[in-house]
Amino acid sequence: MTSIGHIINGEAVSGGSRRQAIYNPATGSSSYEVELADKATVELAIEAAQAAFPGWRNTPPLKRARVMYKFKALLEAHAEEICSLITAEHGKVLNDALGELQRGIENVEYATAAPELLKGEHSKNAGPAIDSWSEFQPLGVVAAITPFNFPAMVPLWMWPMAVVCGNTVVLKPSERDPSSVKRIVELAQEAGLPKGVLNLVNGDKEAVDTLLTDPRIQAVSFVGSTPIAEYVYSEGTRHGKRVQALGGAKNHAIVMPDADMDNVISSLIGAAYGSCGERCMAISVAVAVGDACADQLVQGLKVAMANIKTGAGTDNNNDMGPLITGAHRNKVKGYVDAGVAAGAELVVDGRGLLVSGHENGYFLGPCLFDKVSTDMSIYTDEIFGPVLCVVRAKSMQEAMDIINAHEYGNGTCIFTRDGEAARYFSDHIQVGMVGINIPLPVPMAFHSFGGWKRSLFGDLSAYGPDAVRFYTRRKTITQRWPAGGLRESAQFSFPS
């Protein structure tokens, strides 16, 4: 059986004796494995990154950025190939994979602006004949640890900004769907990234722990579930590293009585069930204000959900593919069972779905609950599946209170036509990414991505302007030149 290895110092290498099978979630079958790096292999990668650092750090930002221009072109040229790999291992529909890749490319585009982004602040005459300025110097070797649900995009949130800032990187992607990211790393090398600047190790906890403890790693960027994010943050900071660790979410949409209901329904269908709900920005709760609004919403969703097609991601006619593993599918099913048991009204039940020809795939149909209360596990927990809960509120304030009481604060949105409602909501909601009539308010690459509360551990958000600050260390230089030197003496040196 073939196995997927690592890329260290520009070379494909094997490392680690443990292997894990890679499954196609649409078929449940597996034909190859991924190698799980042991500590020694990870250390090789760190060593390569460390060795590449001095040269790369001294390379002007403009030259570092130019690699990204070529890399962008290569990603575009190989988009179809990359998306096939995503779909084969993650299961999402090809068009959705293309959307993911496009969002990743946008981060590469932002990274091309490195010469602009790395400018420091210069104060002429900070004091009398004293100048002072700031430089944002790279940290050294940084680690990126990324999740299965966006195998191409999340790594592209991290390492392009890290490398254009002058760092070198060890990337440990998810061991569930390692092929697309590996292909992308190969393209980065092809674009001209010097050896050792970007290293890829596949692995699991052993690899993660090595990265979290090795003193040569200066910083860690992580995206995953909240418990692991919290572990990564505390372990990493305890070992003297800068860490940003993005965790879970339970994203609510408020539906106001004045909203354009057709727009709401089509938006929520996409935001709740796209990529099978396996998105940290998926909407998993809709809070309808007023029973009339709720009734209209639930009825509209029910009708629209009848048209959702679930099947293999290789067919772009499908709207939803399988979940990532059989175990996860069963866990999601369990949540639906629990919701029913807890008394929520299961308006649409996707549990019985059979996808003909893909009987062993990890499929689950879209589910819709109405009259969900905030003590049910379907409400409190991040399900990460195609389950949308409708909560009914009597007022906008009550709807906001519900959201502000949840432990997560990643994304949220409101549907309304009313300027004042939108402004009050965006001002007072305790959530980091807010949409006004935008169901998935993922910030553009030129802004930054970050939730509040237990959705993000760390001071700085991912990608965008915050990434520049995260991947650099401020140095402030204050300069005065002593008088009485060459300039004054020169005028006496050559008397007429």
The residue (of 12 and 129) whose beta carbon lies closer to a copy of itself is 129
Angle of helix 205-213 relative to helix 226-238, nearest 10 degrees, comes to 30
Question: In three state form, how does the secondary structure of 153-182 look?
Answer: HHHHHHHHHHHHCCCEEEEECCCCCCHHHH
- Residue from 83, 268, 289, 368 in contact with a copy of itself (CB under 8 A): 289
- Cβ 36 vs Cβ 207: under 8 Å: yes
- Cβ 373 vs Cβ 380: under 8 Å: no
The residue (of 116 and 345) whose beta carbon lies closer to a copy of itself is 116
Closest separation in Å from C-beta 336 to a copy of itself? 28
Q: Is 478 in the site for a copy of itself (CB under 8 A)?
A: yes
Q: Is 186 in the site for a copy of itself (CB under 8 A)?
A: no
- Residue from 182, 448, 463, 467 in contact with a copy of itself (CB under 8 A): 448
Closest separation in Å from C-beta 1 to a copy of itself? 40
Instruction: Please choose, out of 12-20, 126-134, 324-332, 349-357, the segment that lies near a copy of itself by the rule CB under 8 A.
Output: 126-134
Task: Find residue 368's DSSP bridge partners.
Answer: 348, 388
The residue (of 11 and 260) whose beta carbon lies closer to a copy of itself is 260
The residue (of 112 and 310) whose beta carbon lies closer to a copy of itself is 112
Q: Is 292 in the site for a copy of itself (CB under 8 A)?
A: yes
- Residue from 58, 307, 317, 356 in contact with a copy of itself (CB under 8 A): 58
- Residue from 30, 123, 330, 377 in contact with a copy of itself (CB under 8 A): 123
Three-class DSSP category at 382? coil
Q: Is 126 in the site for a copy of itself (CB under 8 A)?
A: yes
- Cβ 455 vs Cβ 246: under 8 Å: yes
Count of residues touching a copy of itself (by CB under 8 A):
120
Q: Is 437 in the site for a copy of itself (CB under 8 A)?
A: yes
| 280 has catalytic annotation | yes
Q: What's the CA dihedral at 92, 95, 100, 102 to 10 degrees?
A: 160
Tell which positions 133-162 bind a copy of itself, by CB under 8 A. Answer: 133-135, 137
Per-residue contact string for residues 390-429; x = within reach of a copy of itself by CB under 8 A: ----xxxxx-----------------xxxxxxxxx-xx--
CB atoms within 10 A of CB 30: 12
Q: Is 53 in the site for a copy of itself (CB under 8 A)?
A: no
**176 Cβ neighbours under 8 A, 6+ residues apart:** 22, 89, 90, 148, 324, 325
The residue (of 84 and 404) whose beta carbon lies closer to a copy of itself is 404
- Which residue among 83, 165, 276, 280 is the active-site one? 280
Quick one: which of 187, 209, 207, 208 has its CA closest to 198? 187
- Cβ 184 vs Cβ 151: under 8 Å: no
The residue (of 122 and 309) whose beta carbon lies closer to a copy of itself is 122
Q: Is 121 in the site for a copy of itself (CB under 8 A)?
A: yes
- Residue from 221, 431, 463, 467 in contact with a copy of itself (CB under 8 A): 431
Q: Is 130 in the site for a copy of itself (CB under 8 A)?
A: yes
Closest separation in Å from C-beta 137 to a copy of itself? 8
Closest separation in Å from C-beta 347 to a copy of itself? 20
Q: Is 479 in the site for a copy of itself (CB under 8 A)?
A: yes
Buried/exposed 52-88: b ≥16 CB within 10 Å, e otherwise: bbeebbeeebeebbbbbeebbebbeebbeebbbbbbb
d(CA 108, CA 82): 16
- Residue from 128, 307, 317, 405 in contact with a copy of itself (CB under 8 A): 128
Three-class DSSP category at 323? coil
CB atoms within 10 A of CB 270: 16
Quick one: which of 178, 187, 1 has its CA closest to 90? 178
d(CA 131, CA 123): 6
- Residue from 60, 227, 334, 357 in contact with a copy of itself (CB under 8 A): 60
Quick one: which of 51, 335, 321 has its CA closest to 170? 51
The residue (of 76 and 315) whose beta carbon lies closer to a copy of itself is 76
Q: Is 73 in the site for a copy of itself (CB under 8 A)?
A: yes
Quick one: which of 463, 457, 470 has its CA closest to 409? 457
- Residue from 260, 315, 359, 401 in contact with a copy of itself (CB under 8 A): 260
Whose structure tokens read 């990890």?
Answer: 362
The residue (of 116 and 190) whose beta carbon lies closer to a copy of itself is 116
Residues in the chain: 496
DSSP code of 397? Answer: H
Q: Name the residues annotated as catalytic.
A: 280
